[in-house]
Amino acid sequence: MDTTRYLPGGLRARTLSAIVMLLTFSACSHNDSPFDDRVGDASQYAAQCALPRSGTDPYDNNQPYPDRQGTIADERNWLYAYMDAIYLWYREIPDVDASHYTVANYGSVPDAMDAYFEALKTPKLTASGKREDAFSFTYPTDQWEALSQGGVAVGYGTQFAVLASTPPRDVRIAYTDPGTPAAAANVARGAVIQAIDGVDINTSTSAGIDTLNAGLSPQTEGETHSFTIQDLGSSTSRTVVLQAQQVTETPVQNVQAISTPSGTVGYMLFNDHIATAEGELINAVQQLKAADIGDLVLDIRYNGGGYLDIASELAYMIAGPSRTSGKAFERLSYNDKNPLGSSSDATTSFHSTAVGFDPSVSRGSALPYLGLSRVFVLAGPGTCSASEAVVNGLRGVDVDVVLIGGTTCGKPYGFYPTDNCGLTYFAIEFQGVNAKGFGDYADGFTPQCGVDDDFTHALGDTQESLFSAALAYRSSGSCPSSAKLANARPPLSLLRSPLRENLIVKPPR
């Protein structure tokens, strides 16, 4: 099964970045808690596999796999019962002929099950015409476990952005993490990809597209690819050879305080709600608090989401206790037969103490806070899920969130990844709403000030278009006339896995 997402023109998002420490939950249910009970009749079909795994699971204390011999019909029965029980839109599941989804028709059991899963998703569209469920997907369990629990992923330490996906293509570096192969080769934001392994970026052949894909999304540690790039500010090209390694992301970068005639403004780039972000966010807020900032520019234009608890911590550290005390950061709304809907665990408060995701942070330690009534958020189509929850949660307690950039991706949803027979299903199970009960942003949040992403300046540079527009808006109270509307060109796409566009909630136990 090819688990990649295809983009127009053949470029596809296979690069997996770190999503760490999320437990993967077996479909086997012991029916001893609301979380287990929620799967209903699916439990009677669980782990009856056409191709049962043997041996032990290295990511579950080497416990034997629960699989036993079954058929693909058993797997289809489990999936239908599971979706009918937990899927947020279970009433909209289409009536499809399950017997069509066979190895004979699709080539393998995982491919047939993935196709059946796609067929069960709601066909409804949002007001803007996009699919209501544009986010549910499947992933091989062994790969998901290695990524989610290993904390690192194979790559160069870069985020590729596609500004134009059909010839003439425009693929650039959005950012580079420090201490990675890309950083060592001085590959930085704004660099334009011209060729990969000798194949021009505008190739139209199938073999050429495969070469580009292989270079943009390496799968094996030690794999090397040659990139012809034109660096920002350069009129000439150069060739760099990048070797894929196990790289660790640095989610918080470029923390700084900037003096202006009307006070000090803080800035930080926040790229991922992963476990290590907890300590980095705390350090960043402490640094900005010591600088006595009066306003904050939070750059989450490339942040696809992650842990909801970290989003809650960040929102608290921005707003402080006076606005958030006793308030819900986000309530999870399930379908009408899911027992989790009546559970106290359905509400995530504004966390004033650390959850303890990051080993450097003591669980229960008091979080620093800025106590701001306003925040400027730099956003775009790469701003998804837990990042959107920060915006929505702050607005729920009347913090003035001024959005600068592009419309966000529109994902007020989340799921509990569930394995059955070696395939993990990420089926949308809940929708998040803020303290005011609002969560209807499936078409994304629209910015007050629409500005095109600017690849001609470094992130954190006050001349970069989004940051510059935020500073101007802060000064004048309106979007500067010089700002470019974000709809002046098609929205950029980020070459990243759907695993990086998550709202991850730890299940109640």
Q: Among candidates 274, 244, 304, 250, which has minimal Cα distance to 19?
A: 274
Task: Give the per-residue pLDDT at 482.
Answer: 83
Q: Two tokens at 279?
A: 């300590």
pLDDT digits (tens, 9 = 90+) for 483-508: 877 555 567 888 887 666 666 666 55
Looking at the domain that runs over 153-247, which CATH code has it been given?
Answer: 2.30.42.10
Instruction: Judge whether residue 11 has pLDDT over 50.
Output: no
Mean pLDDT in residue range 263-281: 94
Higher pLDDT, 357 or 395: 395
Q: How many C-beta atoms surround the C-beta of residue 239 within 10 A?
A: 11
Which amino acid, 29?
S
pLDDT digits (tens, 9 = 90+) for 101-128: 999 999 999 999 999 999 999 999 988 8
Q: ∠ at Cα 372 (478, 322), nearest 5°?
A: 135
Task: Give the per-residue pLDDT at 144.
Answer: 78
Q: How many C-beta atoms surround the C-beta of residue 184 within 10 A?
A: 15
Q: Two tokens at 66?
A: 């629960």
Residue pair 16/155 in contact by the 8 Å Cβ criterion: yes
pTM of the predicted protein model: 0.85
pLDDT digits (tens, 9 = 90+) for 440-449: 999 999 999 9
Q: Two tokens at 119?
A: 């067929």
ω into 123 cis (within 30 of 0): no
Residue pair 122/93 in contact by the 8 Å Cβ criterion: yes
Spatial distance between the Cα atoms of 483 and 449, rounded to a whole number of angstroms: 8
Which amino acid, 450?
G
Of all residues in the chain, what percent carry a pLDDT higher than 90?
74
| 397, HSE (Cβ side, Cα atoms, 13 Å) | 27
Domain 252-415+428-487 has CATH 1.10.3720.10: no
pLDDT digits (tens, 9 = 90+) for 148-160: 554 457 899 999 9
DSSP secondary structure letters along 89-153: TGGG-----GGG-SHHHHSSHHHHHHHHHHHHS---B-TTSSBS----EEEEHHHHHHHHHH--E
pLDDT digits (tens, 9 = 90+) for 305-361: 888 999 999 999 999 999 999 999 999 999 999 999 887 778 999 999 999 988 899
Mean pLDDT in residue range 175-195: 97
Q: How many C-beta atoms surround the C-beta of residue 422 within 10 A?
A: 18
Q: Two tokens at 117?
A: 């899963």
DSSP state of 339: G
pLDDT digits (tens, 9 = 90+) for 423-439: 999 999 999 999 999 99
Gap between the terminal Cα atoms of the chain: 33
Contacts of 216 by beta carbon, 8 Å cutoff, 6+ apart: 11, 14, 15, 160, 171, 196, 495
Q: Two tokens at 13?
A: 């998002």
| 308, HSE (Cβ side, Cα atoms, 13 Å) | 31
Spatial distance between the Cα atoms of 284 and 369, rounded to a whole number of angstroms: 11
C-alpha Rg value of the chain to the nearest Å: 23
Task: Give the per-residue pLDDT at 439.
Answer: 95
The sign of the torsion formed by the CA atoms of 456, 457, 462, 468 equals positive
Domain boundaries, the chain: 5-139, 153-247, 252-415+428-487
CA distances from 88 to 9, 335, 395, 508 (A): 32, 5, 24, 18
Torsion on CA atoms 336, 342, 343, 345, rounded to nearest 10: 70
Instruction: Tell me if residue 493 falls in helix, strand or coil.
Output: strand
Confidence of residue 466 (pLDDT cuts 50, 70, 90): very high
DSSP secondary structure letters along 494-508: E---GGGS-EE-PPP
Q: In sequence order, what are the beta bridge partners of 242?
A: 225
Instruction: Tell me if residue 312 falls in helix, strand or coil.
Output: helix
**Pairing label, strands 192-196, 158-164:** unpaired
Mean pLDDT in residue range 271-283: 92
Instruction: Judge whether residue 266 has pLDDT over 50.
Output: yes
Instruction: Judge whether residue 23 has pLDDT over 70.
Output: no
Convert 155-213 into a string of H (helix), E (strand) and C (coil): ECCEEEEEEECCCCCEEEEEEECCCCHHHHCCCCCCCEEEEECCEECCCCCHHHHHHHH
Spatial distance between the Cα atoms of 363 and 345, rounded to a whole number of angstroms: 19
Spatial distance between the Cα atoms of 259 and 154, rounded to a whole number of angstroms: 39
